[in-house]
Amino acid sequence: MFIGLINKRIKIVNYKLVHYCFLLIFIIITTGCVASYKAVGYSEDYNEVFVGEVNANLLSGSGTFKLEGQITGIKCEGASTVTYTPNPFTCVGQRGEIFGRCSDGRTLQGSYVVTSCTTGYGRGVDSMGNKFIFNFGLSEEEAEAQVRQRLHISQEKPPLPEYQPSAKNQQEKEDTKTFKTGTGFFISSNGYILTCYHVIKGANNIKILTYDKNLYDGFLVTKDSANDIAIIKIEANYPQLDLGKSNKISKGAEVMTLGYPLILLQGQEIKATFGRINALSGIGNDPRFFQIDVPVQPGNSGGPLIDLNGKVIGIIIGRLNEIEVFKIAGSIPQNANYAIKIDYASPLLDIVGNNLNTIHSIKDRGFKNFEEIIPAIEKSIVLVIAE
């Protein structure tokens, strides 16, 4: 009888625990698990301190932010998205990107590291190249103390330059000279490069930086603006990549890319990222594209999508515009990225035709993994600079 009473009480306790867990899950789902935290940022070189809030979705890792300059009164807002999660059971070590726009017209982009589920720090640049540093997850008292400290330190610095969408004199033109960067890869041993057309569209000058840090003048050979593909030529010889067949790839296949993302922040070392084919079509079931979860950032456009045979099966195009999707859907997409299938480059390759000096240096080499592939192909990847 005593044992039966204990078992009955255990069942009651278990029922209450299960009921509590379901109630907790329901609360998390219905509230969206959104929390607000204080954030403080400051210009690295100028007299400006920003203070505001970060609204973080603890389930998805995404969030939004609003900041206001304490000196200039500039107001900035934007969004964040997670790009790397080391452990699905903890927030610590997550990395992500921020992007936003300010009331004076300047844009912001940066990266951050999470130190707990509610705190983190990061750095970035605005569209004029001005560097800023920020941290978030502060209490009211901590935020006020940091603002006072930063205002005191920053008062010795020069004023934050006004946003200049167009230069008014020659010196300003030099200071605000704009350029775009992307990635490309050799498709022949005699200097032909495949990349995205949007990387070089409207450029007056094209520069190509190779793995050995040589800078070459490039020129546009031909383009397919509808499919966002272009072929560039330099007068130099480098090893090429082998092109595969897009129609041989299955959903779930492992893929990777090499490229030069966010070089102003991350430097000019080539970066490797990995993932899988999520879908055999793009936005609106567009059959020209793969949807992939390979992390890509500005600067990855034009890079090769590589399979486990070390062959190019696609060209990285980009990702969904997080801010626009957030406005429409109320949430930020996670790793919804796209590559155009390499088969759609065939018409351009036919135009170039016999000019391509193709030597299949890595064909049928029998790679075991991406770790073997990277050193075999990274000399064929280039940084594309469009001025």
Q: Are residues 140 and 215 in the same domain?
A: no
376 φ/ψ angles, rounded to the nearest 5 degrees: -80, -20
Which residues fall within 8 angstroms of residue 221, CB to CB, at 6 or more apart?
192, 230, 231, 232, 233, 352
Q: What's the domain count of the chain? A: 2
Q: Does 167 fall in a domain?
A: no
Q: Are residues 197 and 249 in the same domain?
A: yes
Selected residue with higher pLDDT from 97 and 158: 158
Q: Does 45 fall in a domain?
A: yes
Q: Are residues 127 and 191 in the same domain?
A: no
Give dist(CA 362, CA 310) in Å, integer: 8
Q: Are residues 66 and 211 in the same domain?
A: no
Q: Are residues 83 and 218 in the same domain?
A: no
Q: What is the pLDDT of residue 52?
A: 93
Q: Does 26 fall in a domain?
A: no
Residue 16's SS3 state is helix
Q: Does 75 fall in a domain?
A: yes
| pLDDT tens digits, 210-267 | 999 899 999 999 999 999 999 999 999 999 999 999 988 999 999 999 999 988 778 8
Q: Does 22 fall in a domain?
A: no
Q: Are residues 291 and 381 in the same domain?
A: yes
Q: What is the pLDDT of residue 51?
A: 95
| pLDDT tens digits, 182-221 | 999 999 999 999 999 999 998 999 999 999 989 999 999 9
Give the domain range for residue 101: 34-154
Q: Which CATH number is 98's domain given?
A: 2.40.128.120
Q: Are residues 305 and 185 in the same domain?
A: yes
Q: 336, 333, 331, 335: which is closest to 64 by C-alpha?
A: 331
Q: Does 369 fall in a domain?
A: yes
Q: Are residues 230 and 368 in the same domain?
A: yes
Q: Does 5 fall in a domain?
A: no
Q: Does 200 fall in a domain?
A: yes
